[in-house]
Amino acid sequence: MLGQWEPQGSARRWIGDLRQARLGQCEPRVTYERCELEIPLESDFSQRYLLLRPLKKGRYPAVIAWTSTTPDYREPEKWWGRWLAERGFVVLCGWSFLRHYRDGTTYSTGALERLEERFGPWRGLGKMTWDIGQERKYLAARPDVDPRRIGFIG
């Protein structure tokens, strides 16, 4: 069902360098800051996110909060993201690569086919699991995150 667990052999060249993540515009809210973020999950594909972080300095638990498959994906922080950030969590709000993949492909326009062309027998759920692991690694390296307390919801 998952296919392979991670990119294999020569396909590993497509793994992105998480250290090259790009933090974009940040806007303060009442209790947290909302920042645009791009994480290079592949060498030529960066996934877009919102990073929500408490305004006070410190190390916080973190949650990767993927949005649902309903139309609210356009506002990923609207539900759990904002709620968690207001309660002292660093939150990485995003969605599966099926919403936006290389060259703007989606589930309905060929994202799974593009995945298989590049990585071979890797299924969508396997790629999602890998991406969550990469997102966890990104958060664990942040100075404002307690790497022992990272969760996922979505």
pLDDT by residue (tens digit) across 25-72? 999 999 999 999 999 999 999 999 999 999 999 999 999 998 866 666
- Cα–Cα distance, 76 to 55 (Å, whole number): 20
The average pLDDT across 65-92 equals 82
Non-local (6+) Cβ contacts of 58 within 8 A are 144
Residue corresponding to tokens 């993201």: 81
Give CA angle at 80 (99, 89), nearest 5°: 115
Report the percent of the chain where pLDDT is more than 70: 94
- The answer to pTM > 0.75 is yes
Non-local (6+) Cβ contacts of 71 within 8 A are none
Give CA angle at 136 (130, 137), nearest 5°: 90
Residue corresponding to tokens 């922080």: 77
Non-local (6+) Cβ contacts of 59 within 8 A are 143, 144, 145, 146
